[in-house]
Chain A
Amino acid sequence: ETGVTQSPTHLIKTRGQQVTLRCSSQSGHNTVSWYQQALGQGPQFIFQYYREEENGRGNFPPRFSGLQFPNYSSELNVNALELDDSALYLCASSLDRASDTQYFGPGTRLTVL
């Protein structure tokens, strides 16, 4: 059974650019959540997707957007990058939206210069 995978592992962008991060959920899981983990902090919830629909959103501006595909993989898009967007972006999948356990991927380290 394949766990949650994320790509790319590392990414360097400059201010104002746009970025797309990708996540493949664990086999059989239809719910994906995205978190941002700034250096020295705990992860913060960005949003969740359930069966291709957004199912909750944290306190992030609209330039953070997402997508979930029919195979339940997901993308996180960030427009107009700011220096403070530098962080580890974690994707987590769960069996469904009622499941109490989320399984995390290894993360994508984004650096904005």
Chain B
Amino acid sequence: AQSVTQLGSHVSVSEGALVLLRCNYSSSVPPYLFWYVQYPNQGLQLLLKYTSAATLVKGINGFEAEFKKSETSFHLTKPSAHMSDAAEYFCAVTQNYGGSQGNLIFGKGTKLSVKP
């Protein structure tokens, strides 16, 4: 069975500092991995995705993530935090079942706070 673990339910950084949100996955087959962001009282917005192409994936708003199979990790980073990055971030995993994409399995989320 697939699963996702997000280390740290809350992360606080200063504006301009590095953002690092951790995600580890468990999957017996090559996974598809995603990061979504959720602003208060809103739905989920896709930040970036890994689908077995390049291991370093660039997304929107300056975020990127690196797929590391040996570490079963897909950590999300941004070199310089902005106040507008304050939100909740979800890592998710799925896989392709012979032409049909499986449902997303989400981690519990990491709430990012950005201090001025």
Contacts and interface: CB of A to CB of B under 8 A. Distances in A.
Interface stretch (B11-19, B38-46, B76-84): B38-46
Interface residues of B, number: 27
B103 A33 contact: yes
A105 interface: yes
A109 B32 CA distance: 29
Contacts, number: 66
Contact of A43 (B96, B100, B106): B106
Contact of A97 (B42, B92, B101, B105): B101
Contacts of A58: 103
A48 interface: yes
Nearest to B52: A100
Given A100-B96, A104-B44, A42 B108 contact: yes
B90 interface: yes
Interface string A1-16: 0001010000000000
B99 A56 contact: no
DSSP class of B's interface residues: helix, strand, loop or mixed? strand
A35 B104 CA distance: 9
The 3 A-B pairs of least Cβ separation, nearest first, read: A42-B106, A45-B103, A104-B44
22 contacts: A4-B43, A40-B108, A42-B4, A42-B90, A42-B92, A42-B106, A43-B44, A43-B90, A43-B104, A45-B103, A45-B105, A48-B103, A50-B100, A56-B102, A90-B44, A97-B100, A100-B49, A101-B34, A102-B104, A103-B46, A105-B43, A107-B42
Interface of A: 4, 6, 33, 35, 40-45, 48, 50, 55-56, 58, 90, 92, 94, 97-107, 109
